[in-house]
Structure 1
Amino acid sequence: MRTLLTLFCLLCSIGAWANQLEGIRIWPSPDNTRIVLDMQARPRFDHFMLNNPHRLVVDLEQTQNRVNFAAIKNSSELVTRIRDSKPSRAGSYRLVFELKAPVRPVVFPLAPAGEYGHRLVIDLPYQDQSRKPAPAVRKLAPAGLRELVVAIDAGHGGEDPGAIGPKKNREKHVTLAISRRLADLINKEPGMRAVLTRTGDYYVNLNKRSEIARKARADLLLSIHADSVANQGPRGASVWLLSSNRANREMAGWLEKQERQSELLGGVGEVISQTDGNPYLTRTFLDLSMDKSRADSYAISEHILAEMGKVVRLHKRKPEHASLAVLKSPDIPSLLIEAGFISNPHEEQLLLTASHQQKIAQALLNGIKSYYRQNPPNGTMMAASAAPGSAIRHTVKNGESLSVIARRYGVSVSRIKGHNDLSSDVVRVGQVLNIPGS
C-alpha cells in the first residue's frame, strides 16, 4: 500500500512539474545580449516588460528551477541581476531579469540541435547605440590614398559552437583565435587594415557578416572555419568560394531588394542608384559585379593555397565551390578558409596550438599580399607603391631595421638605400624613408 502511495505522489509531482529549467547562459555582443534558457522539454511561456526599474519578466508554465543563480556567468553590462519572483498562476515559475536600460525583447523557443536540448532564447537588442564599441583607429595614409581593407569572419560563435572535436574542443574558439592573429598581422602591414566581424564569443547572423564587411568598405572577406566529418581520418586545409548556382540565386535576391543595391561598392552601387529602377540595366551591372567578384575570389584563393601549402597539409589543392551564405556578397570577393579538420584527433591538437594558428595566419597574409601586389586596387597605398617610379613615405619605428622595412614593402634593401642615398644599413627611429615601387 505504501509503495502505491509513493508512486501516486511521484506521478502527481511529474504532472505538476512537466518541465525543468536546467541552465541559463548569457552571450553579450556589440549589438545585443542573448540569454539562453536550457529546458528539459519544449517551453510554454509568456513575457512582459516592467519599468522603474527596468525588468524583463518571463513566466514558464509547469516548470521547476534547477539553476543556481550565483553560478551563472554574466559579463553583460545590460543584465544586472537574475532572480525569481512569485508567479501569477500556480504551477508556473517566474524569472526576472533586472536591466540597466529599456529593451524590446525578442523571445522564441529552439528545438534540440547538436549538443543542445530544448531552449528558450531571449534577445535583448541595445537601444543605446553608444554601447557599440568604437571603430578601430585607422593608421594614417598618405593624402589621396586609402588602405586595403580585409574583413575577417571568425566562423560560428556564442550559442553556435560549430564542429566539436574528439576532445570536445569547439570550432568557434579556434576560428576566433586564428582570426585575431590574422588581424594583428594585417594591421602591422603598411597600407592594410583588418576588420573583424566578431571580436568575442557571440553569434553574428550570416547575412550581417557580409554587411559588416560592406560597411567597412572591405576589399576582401575571409571567413575562417575548421572542417569536420564523421570519419576521423581526413586532414588538411582547403579554400572555398561561391558556386555559380548560389551566385545566380543571390543575384535574384538582390534584384528583389532594390533599395539595398545602392550599398554596393566599387562604383556599381552608384550606377545602379541612377538607373531609375530599370531592371535590365540593374541586372547587367549586378551580373558584371558578381562575375568580377567570383573571378577575383578564385584568383585570390590560388595565391592563398600556394602559401598555405608551404606550411600546412592541404586537403584540396584547388579551390572548391559551395553554396555558403557567408560567400554570397556580389560586390566583395569572399572566401571560406577551412584551416584543418577539427574532427581529426591530430589536427584538433594542432589547431589549438599558438604556433600552428600563427602559421595559418601568416600564410593567409602572405597569400593576400601576393595577390594584391600583382593586382592592387586603384587608390590604395599598395597601388601607389607598385606604380613605376612611385614611392611612399615610411617613418622608422622603434625596433625596425632596414631589412624588416624592406620585407614589409616587398622591395630589396639595396633599392631603399639607393632611393634614399643611404651609405649604410643603419636607420634611426623617426627617420623618414621614401619606399620605391616594388
Structure 2
Amino acid sequence: MAPEQPSPAGLDETYRRITWRLLPFLMFLWVLSWIDRVNIGFAKLQMLADLKFSETVYGIGAGIFFIGYFLCEVPSNLLLEHIGARKTIARITLLWGLCCVAMMFVTTAGLFYLLRFLLGVFEAGFYPGVILFLTYWYPTERRAKVFGLFMSASAIAGVIGGPLAGTIMTGLDGVNGWSGWQWVFLLEGIPSILAGIVTLFYLTDRPEKAGWLTPEQRALVAADLARDAAALGPREHRILASLRDVRVWQCIAIFFCIITANSALTFFGPSVVREAGYTDPLTIGWIMSGAYLCGAAGMILNGRHSDRSGEARFHCGIPALIGAMAIALLGVLVPISPALSIVALTVAIAGTMSAIPVFWQIPGRFLAGSAAAAGIALINAVANLAGFGAPAVMGALREQTGSAATGLWIVAGFEVATLLLILLFIPPAPAALVRRAAARAAHEPA
C-alpha cells in the first residue's frame, strides 16, 4: 500500500521553503560555473590574435574540457553519494575557480589544452551532482520545474556573462600590461573561489539534516518522497547493473544529441554573431545576453508545464526539434540577413535549452540511490563528449570553409535525432505519475 497523501497546502509551503533555501544558491553556483566554462568563447575574440592561435586550436581547446569532464564525472558523483553534496560541491567550486584564474597565464597551445582539460576535471560532477542532490529533496512530479529553475542559471549566465566579458575586455584592455581576455579570466574566477568556501557552511546534504525545516516539515518531505518511490515502483539501485542498463545508454544517445547543439551554440554563438556583422565585443555580449534570456524563460516555462501534465517525452523532443530547425536556418541566414540570423540564433538557443531540464526527468523514472548517482553521472559524462566533438568539428570546418554554415547543418541533424530517439526508446510516463501530476495541478494556481 502506498503511503498516505500528505496535506497539499502543507507540502507546498514546505517545498517553497526548500526551494527558497536551496535554489538561489545552487543557481548562483551554476552561473559561476557556466561563466567560467564558456568565457573562452568571448575571450577568443581577442585571445586568438594575441597568441596566434588558429580556429582549430581554439576548437580543440574549447572541447578538450569535456575529456576531463568525462573521465571524472562518475567518480565525483559516487563520492557525493558517499560524503555528501556539501563537501563535494565546495571542492568542485573552489578548484574550478583556481583553474579559471590560471587561464590568464596561457601563452602556448599546450598550456591552453592542459588548463582546459583540468577545468573539466575540476568541474566534473557539479551538474550531475546537483541533479542527484535535488532528487533527495523533491518527488518526481516537482522535479522538472526545479530542474528548469536550476538549469536556467546557465541561461542567466549567458545574460550576465556576455555583457560582463564585453565590458571587461573593452574597459580593462591594457591595464597593468594585461590584455582584456586576461582580465576576464581573473575577475570571473575569483568569485568561484570565494563561493567554494561559502558552500561548506551553507548547504545541507539531505532533508532529515535540515535544521532550517521544522520537525513536521521534515516528516512531510519524508512521507512524500516515500509515496513517490511507491508510485514509481521497483527501480534499479545497484551501481554496476545501472551502468549495464540499456535504458541508460539510450538516454546517453538522446542527451548526446542535445549537447551537440548546446555546446556548438555556446562556444561558437559569439563568433556567429560577429560573422553576421556585429563586431564590437560589448554588442556581441548584449546580443548573446538577450538570446540566453529567452533560453532561461523557455527552460522554466517548459519545465513547469511538463510537471503539470506529467509528460516528459514531447516536452523534451519538441523544443529540440524547434531548436534544430532554427540552427539549420541560421546556417542559411548568417550571410544574408543579420537581423534574421539573430532571431534564428535566439530560437535555437531557447529550443535547445528548454529540452534539457525535462530530459532529466527520464533517468529518475528507472534509477534510484547509488544507481542514480552512477547512472546520471555516466549519462552526463558520455553525452558531454559531444562538447568536445562539436567545437572541434565546428572549428575545423569554419577554418576550411570560412563559414559556420556546414557545421551548423551537421549540428541541426543531431538535434533532429533527439526527438526520433525519444520516440523510439522512451515509453510514456507511468499512469500513477500522470494522475499525481494532474491532482497537484488541480489545486495549484494557473
Shorter-chain TM-score: which interval? under 0.3
Structure in which a larger fraction of residues adopt strand: 1
Q: What TM-score comes out, normalization by structure 1 length?
A: 0.25
TM-score of the superposed pair, with normalisation by structure 2: 0.25
**Greater relative contact order (Cα < 8 A, sep 6+):** 2
- Give the number of the structure whose alpha-carbon radius of gyration is greater: 1
